[in-house]
A and B are shown apart, each in its own frame.
Chain A
Amino acid sequence: MIKNKNLTGPQSVTANRLADGVVVFLTADSQWSPRVSDSAVAQDAATAAALMAIAGKAAADRIVVAPYLFEVGVEGVVVRPLSARESIRAKGPTVEEREPASLG
């Protein structure tokens, strides 16, 4: 699990939902959304720490597991992860998803 301590630019918080494992993002109203575009963005270290404190509480409350910060780019209202890893995590595998129960 990557827990970057030295992030500098804008950051958001992601985690997995405890019960079903779904990738989620912390929103500005302290909810968890499956869409990265709903992420709250911290512009500085203090805000990032505050977001992580909220996430830590959610982990203690068994809503999510393994929260961490990651770097995002913000253009207008669009929030997108900067690294290849986090974009794949946000969007899902880049390989064609199998049609469930299809042959061949």
Chain B
Amino acid sequence: MYVYDGYDQTFLEERVAQFRDQVRRRLAGDLSEDEFKPLRLTNGLYLQLHAYMLRVAIPYGTLSAAQLRQLAHVARRYDKGFGHFTTRQNIQYHWMKLEQVPDALADLARVQMHGLQTSGNCIRNVTADHWAGVAADEIEDPRVYCEIVRQWSTLHPEFSFLPRKFKIAITGSPNDRAAVRVHDIGLRMHRNAEGEVGFEVMVGGGLGRTPIIARTIRDFLPKRHLLSYLEAILRVYNQLGRRDNIYKARIKILVHELGVAKMAEMVEAEWRSLKDGPLALPAEEIARIQAHFTPPVYPDSPVFTPEFDALRLSDAGFRRWLKVNVAPHRQLGYAIVTLSLKPEGGVPGDMTADQMDAVAALADRHSFGEVRVTHTQNLVLPHVRRADLPALWRGLSELGLATANIGQVTDIIACPGLDYCALANARSIPVAQRITQRFSDLARVHDIGELKIKISGCINACGHHHVGHIGILGVDKGGEEFYQITLGGSEDQNASLGAIVGPAVPNEVIVDAVQTVIETYLSLRRPQERFLDTYRRVGMAPFKERLYAAA
């Protein structure tokens, strides 16, 4: 893991002291709310529907057990005993008190955590594949480059006041688990014909009011040019991005208006003046950062043990969990384990302080003290001996974190929605809860197979509904909650935007509507077809017919 050096640590502590003073001045009346608001937002502190909300960055989704314990401590000491993991690999505390936030930030700084770059029109916390460094299909660990981008972008004077927020995601695998095509910049590592590793550069993706899939402006960028090329993109955007209209200010609109060829041409022109300058990354610098992400030394461990075999034969629950919550690790004898934060009736992404402490202990025992946060609002233990899987499964089951539903119908992404968010039109969480209750039978869930439902409480699309296989968007019709359904979205390497099925449906029938969509799929699917495959084969018509037949 990247460990802060003295420079980073001092910087963080100075920032906490600075914010402490700003809060003091606000409470003493020396700063008005208008003056204070941008200062608190820079530190990740929002005023939400019910209270202050603190958003804490988890860079590239990687946490140490010690950091997770500190997150538990903050939840317990300053919040109501839980936290909420978000679709950007952050954690949010929904019940903070302004007067206590400096203390909470000081406690977080002790483990090198903070709320910087989680708000405002800057380059936000860079996200990555949550299986980075361990996935069997990975070419190179993308976190190395996330960290390089973090060091370059934190407090970058030129890019602290962009036209709008700016999100970057990096995947090091051909199978995209980081949704790079729905980011302002998406980077995919791959090998060129000479076998050299570099980046495919995609720009202008994003969800929200105007969802757009990112377009490739460069097929292959050598690693040493990463920062100069990003700087070139940001400069073009910073100059030409629409500051006059908040709805048109994201880079996706610029790319759309210029056309991708023109955008690429302008970036390349800007880049030519930058590429061999001080931003070029020498191999030694990459190696220096790489050293922080050296995988642990894995002692040999068997692929199967008698206990593992016996449990697999005797227990259908364990088999189901192995099938969807456990993934191949690049190291023989090890596995990647996903902890489901989507129990039946639960709040997607929520975790109690006690669960966090317990998971930190399990990470120490079974995963070299390391934990990951996924953009699908689950946690991952990245380095588990296969021989430990039975014990870990039992431990997680006791904590309510072993629901065998990863990638299945009940592994729902849901934004906070109207239960917490000041911008919401409708609630998201209760819809997710009701769907998990409707599909509580795991045998049925596994029969339905891979199916990604994503729910947003408003057009800002924090719940990524446009790229859900089934997307649900909350809308406000005369003060009442309605939900619009989209089908066929996907965020992986074959990204697509969902299409709207028809008129929005009222809150009372949204779960029935989801069930109708799923039953339609079941009646149409061919052997081995996932929901998305069937949808792509048959199109919208049969779903639409069934959904609106009664109306």
Contact = CB atoms under 8 A, between A and B. Distances in A.
Contacts of A99: 81, 352
Nearest to B48: A21
Interface centre among A16, A23, A85, A97 (most CB of B within 10 A): A85
A21 B350 CA distance: 21
A82 B476 CA distance: 13
Interface string A84-104: 110011001111011111111
Interface stretch (A36-44, A47-55, A58-66): A58-66
Contact of B97 (A21, A65, A83, A94): A21
A11 to B, nearest CB: 15
A70 to B, nearest CB: 11
B82 interface: yes
B352 A103 contact: yes
A1 interface: yes
> Range of interface residues on chain B?
35 or more
Nearest to A104: B400
B419 A98 contact: no
Nearest to A88: B418
Nearest to B479: A83
Dominant secondary structure at the B interface: mixed
Interface stretch (B112-120, B279-287, B353-361, B404-412): B353-361
A62 B29 contact: yes
Contacts of A1: 422
Given A18-B98, A100-B80, A100-B81, A93 B419 contact: yes
A93 B50 contact: yes
B49 interface: yes
Dominant secondary structure at the A interface: loop
A78 interface: no
Interface in A4-37: 16, 18-23
Nearest to A103: B354
Given A62-B29, A84-B426, A101 B76 contact: yes
Interface string B80-123: 11100000000000011111000000000000000000000000
A19 B232 CA distance: 43
Contact of A20 (B99, B353, B355): B99
Nearest to A1: B422
B519 interface: no
Interface in B470-489: 476, 479-481
Given A84-B480, A100-B352, 6 more contacts: A19-B97, A20-B98, A66-B33, A88-B418, A103-B398, A104-B401
12 contacts: A16-B51, A21-B98, A22-B51, A65-B33, A65-B47, A88-B49, A89-B50, A94-B419, A94-B430, A95-B347, A100-B76, A101-B354
Top 3 nearest A-B pairs (CB, nearest first) are A100-B81, A104-B400, A21-B51
Interface of A: 1, 16, 18-23, 59, 61-62, 65-66, 82-85, 88-89, 92-95, 97-104
